[in-house]
Amino acid sequence: MSIQSSVEVQTEWGIVSARQAGRNLAKEIGFGGVDQARITTAISELARNIYLYAEKGEIVIEAVEETRGTQKKKGIKITAKDRGPGIKNIREVMEDGYTTSGGLGAGLPGVRRLMDDFDVDSVMEEGTTITAIKWLR
């Protein structure tokens, strides 16, 4: 599979489009309703962060595959990229209870929980790239 879509995020419309693209692909890959909701929630959170803190950026959504021995795993990968200010204190941000939303469980720690693999790469003044993958079980 090489389906990939990229959505520009600069307005709340962009957030909705990114969700839509994520849901379409998640359905296609075979994720159930609950997982679809998890994936779109993760996309929402990442896209909102771009919109709020970096002003603009993009969300790339693609299908991924991994082979381990004879087992093939399918999954969905979300990449959120921006050239915004970067995240200063990633370690603190990844701690529960840090978000400005305060104790509602969302934010980046929430994204990490919703997805299976999670990676943040952020350089001050240069930007942030966050990737998250959910595997189909």
Partner 1 sequence: MAESKELLHDQYANILRAYLEEQSEQGLYYAQQFSKRVLEEQISPEEVVSLHLEVLEEFFPDLPKGAHESFELLLEVMMGYGLAYREHQSLRDKTKELEAEINVAANMQQTFLPDEIPHVNGLDVGVLSVPASKMSGDYYHFVKDDHDCVGLAIADIIGKGIPAALCMSMIKYTMDSYPEQRLQPGALLENVNRVVEQNIASNMFITMMYGSYDSRTHQFNYAGAGHEPGFYYKAAEDTFEELHAKGIVLGIKRNTDYKEYQLTVEPGDFVVLLSDGVTECRTDDGFIEREAITRLIRTYQHLPAQEIVNHVFYELERAQGFQLRDDFTLIILRRNV
Residue 111: CB atoms within 10 Å: 24
With binding defined as CB under 6 A, does residue 128 bind ligand ADP? yes
Among 7-15, 22-30, 43-51, 71-79, the segment contacting ligand ADP (CB under 6 A): 43-51
With binding defined as CB under 6 A, does residue 135 bind ligand ADP? no
Question: If DSSP codes are grouped into helix, strand and coil, which group holds residue 137?
Answer: coil
Amino acid residing at 88: K
Out of 16, 37, 63, 93, the only residue in the binding site for ligand ADP (CB under 6 A) is 93
Among 10-18, 37-45, 52-60, 80-88, the segment contacting partner 1 (CB under 8 A): 37-45
Judged by CB under 6 A, the number of residues near ligand ADP is 17
- Residue 77's region, left for phi above 0, alpha for psi from -120 to 50, else beta, is beta
Rounded to 5°, angle at Cα 59 from 7 and 75 = 110
